[in-house]
Every structure is written in structure tokens, then in C-alpha cells.
A and B are shown apart, each in its own frame.
Chain A
Amino acid sequence: MVAARTRLEIATANLANVSTDGFRKHVARGRLTASGVEVDPLVATAQGALRRTGRDFDFAIAGDGWFRVRDGSSIRPTRDGAFVRDRDGRLRDDAGRALQGRHGDLIVPAGASVDERGAVVVAGRVVDSIALPSASALRTGFLETANTDAVTEMVDVMAAQRSFESAEKVVATIDAASRKAAGDVAALK
């Protein structure tokens, strides 16, 4: 029943994020232990679908890699590439975190463009770049959607509920059997 609960927690957390761009879903992986089944959440790294937005500072990574954003003094990885350009050229997401380049905050000067390799180009000259693995490409004007969808997760929610119900039946049956056994022993006396 604990395993079914964890499955439900994973499925609802995924479900809540179906509209979160760049979201990476967790998958439930069960393993048998001496005390029963345990479920561990693992992050699924499958690519999410790319959605066209047409904005200059919406980026999607096709392939591996992460955008690094600065939250105060800590750097966090994210796959969500929706940024808004500040007047000083910094690119910030809607939480105010600044996208990182090679040396600190990435600065995109006016009139600059960001190419497929993540390089910020001004008049043919590369001024900074978004670090990406060599096999990955940056798509400008696209966002990566969550790598899950409502239907898949809803099915998981229902499956978790059913397996919880089955486990409950088993517990109830065992409970009834031990109660009967206890009653029989008492009657024998």
C-alpha cells in the first residue's frame, strides 16, 4: 500500500506539471525488498516536444544538456528556456533568475542573435555562449514542453488507485482470516 501511495504521489506531481515548460517527469521504479515492494522516483530524461513560440529569447535544447540559471548565488540547471531580456542585456526567466554564459551572467547586446550552437553573435563576432554538449542544438523561438502528458499520468493515477484498492482487499482478507483464527482458538479453549 505504501508503494501504491508513492506511485500516486509521483503521478500527481507529474500531472500538476503538464503545463510546465522544460519539466522532467519522475517515473516510479519498483523493487522487491525483504519487507515488500519499494518504489523509487527516477527522473525520466526523455526529450519533451518542442513548441513554436516565435519569440527571440525562447530557447529549447534538442538533445542533452541544461540551461544554467543563477538564483541569488547558487546556479541551478533547468530545461525551461523562456527568458525575457533586461535593459542591461541579461536574460532572466519569469522567476527572475539570470541565464549563465561562459563567465557569469550571459549578456545579449542589442541587435545580437543566438545561434544553433548557443553562441551570442554580434556583427559576426561571438561574444559569449550558452554552454551545451557538442551533440546538442539550440532552437530559438521554441520551448520544450513537459516530457509527459495529462493522459499518461491520469492512467498512472488510476493504476495507483486500483493497486491501492487491491492491497487493501489483501489486508482486509488477512485481517479477517487472523480474526477468525483468533476466534477459533478462543472457541477451542
Chain B
Amino acid sequence: MNRALYAAATGMAAAQTNLDVISDNLANADVAGFKGATATFAEIGGAGGPGLGTVSLGEHIVFTQGKLMKSGGPFDVAIDGPGFFSLDDGRGGRAYSRDGSFSRCADGTLRNAQGWRLSGVRLSADALSASVSGDGSVSVTSPGGTRVVAHLRLAEFPAPERLRAIGNTLFAQTPQSGPARLVAPNEENGPRVRFGQLEQSNVSIVEAMMQILTAQRAYEANAKGVQAADEMLRIADNLSRG
């Protein structure tokens, strides 16, 4: 019965872990550029007999494409395909993100909500408006006319799924992910950039809700298993008292 008790307890812990990951996904379902995570589990095998429960193997980020949506921002860009925006903080720090909502600063740089600059792009002081074409060339319209001032480059990695999430939809390079390689967006064979659009999170609210219900049921059922094992221990105990 102890075996059953512990197996059911591992099930409760797994359901809890699963619920944590799903609720984090759900909480960020409206955050542009957010990538959901998924928790994985493995069976703890018993030698020859029934297993001893389950163990969490951790979680990994799911880098599937989010939907692109037209947005109202003056400098919103979205990536259609693989790759990341390469960002720097001006002090040597570097991060990568799929969130393309930038705003223009006084010094001509484009910064995201956390103040990270879009690397390699600087608008001239007299620019009235700016736009990005499919091949990544950034052009500004000033009283003197329209001209290309910079080329947007996207960062690609040998193993993007090994990037480390550092919060605020930012990712950091790791030895496992390999070094970033800057590529020019390409209209023909991707990745493409879409100006005036934002990539939504890749979390489906309906699916996340469904997963929450399933995790909750799993938790309840495992709690029932703990109860049953406990009850049987009590009965066995009474029996031995006679």
C-alpha cells in the first residue's frame, strides 16, 4: 500500500507541475512574441511489477509560429518563419526576441518595452516615418525624400530550442544553442519580416483551458488514489489489532 501511496503522490506532484506550466502559458497568452512551454514526464519503472509513479523531466519552450496580426504601432515588425530579433542594451548585453513592438527613442534607436535596442538600426533625426520591407531594408521618409538607412538582420541559431528564456519574451544564447548567425530576411524562401504586424503568442487559450481541466482531473484522481491507499492501510492496521 505504501507503494501505491507514493505512486499516487508522484502523480499529484506531476499534475501540479503541469498546472504551473500551463497557467504560465495562459497568463502570457496575450503577450506578443511569447512562446509557450510544455512540461514533460517519464514513468518510474518498477522492476517487473507495476511502475512506481512518474517523474518530471523538466520543460522545454515550444517555438512554433504565432499568428501575425495587424497592429497600430508605428514601428511594429513580425517575423514570419524562423529567427529572432537581435537586441542589445548598449552596454554589451545581448538578447534575442520574437516580440517586434518597438518605439522610437530620441537618439534614433528603436527600443522594445524593456528598453532593449534593435541592433543595427538607427533612424535619422529628421525622419517623419519609417518602414521595413520584406527583405529587411529600413527606409525613412524625411522632408528630403525617402531613403534606406539600415538593413534589419535576424538571428538564427543551430539549436534554437536550447536558448534560455530570461523573461519578458527575451532569450539568451547558451553553449547548447550555438552562436547566433545573422541572416537577411528573404521574401522568397523566408524568414520574412512583416511591417505593421505583430506576432501573437503561440498559446491557444482554448487548448490551455482544456489542459488545465485535464491537469485538475489528474490531480483529483491521484488525490483519490492517496486516499484509497491510506484507507486500506487503516483497515489493514485495524485487522492486525484484532
Contact = CB atoms under 8 A, between A and B. Distances in A.
B56 to A, nearest CB: 9
B206 interface: no
A46 interface: no
Nearest to B64: A54
B218 A19 contact: yes
Contacts of B162: 84, 86-87
A20 B54 contact: yes
A154 interface: yes
A59 interface: no
Nearest to A5: B1
A82 B60 CA distance: 10
Interface string B1-39: 101110110110011001000000000000000000011
Interface in B66-80: none
Contacts of B63: 55
B159 A87 contact: yes
Given A85-B159, A110-B158, A150-B217, A17 B54 contact: yes
A88 B223 CA distance: 43
A144 interface: no
Contact of A41 (B49, B177, B178): B49
Interface stretch (A60-68, A116-124, A128-136, A156-164): A156-164
Nearest to B6: A12
Nearest to B231: A161
B38 A53 contact: yes
Contacts of B239: 168, 171-172
Contacts of B4: 5, 8-9, 11-13
Contacts of B235: 164-165, 168
A8 B1 contact: yes
B49 A9 contact: yes
Q: Which of B3, B11, B176, B242 has the most CB of A within 10 A?
A: B11
A157 B225 contact: yes
Interface string B74-98: 0000000000000000000000000
A6 B239 CA distance: 18
- 3 closest Cβ pairs, A-B complex: A16-B11, A87-B158, A87-B178
Interface of B: 1, 3-5, 7-8, 10-11, 14-15, 18, 38-43, 46, 49-54, 57-60, 62-64, 157-159, 161-162, 176-178, 214-215, 217-218, 220-222, 224-225, 228-229, 231-232, 235-236, 239, 242
21 contacts: A9-B7, A12-B229, A15-B222, A16-B14, A16-B51, A16-B53, A17-B41, A17-B54, A19-B18, A19-B41, A19-B54, A20-B41, A53-B38, A55-B64, A80-B42, A150-B218, A154-B225, A157-B224, A164-B235, A168-B235, A171-B239
Given A6-B49, A12-B228, A110-B158, 16 more contacts: A9-B3, A9-B50, A11-B225, A12-B11, A12-B225, A13-B51, A14-B50, A15-B218, A15-B222, A17-B11, A55-B64, A80-B40, A93-B40, A95-B57, A154-B225, A157-B224
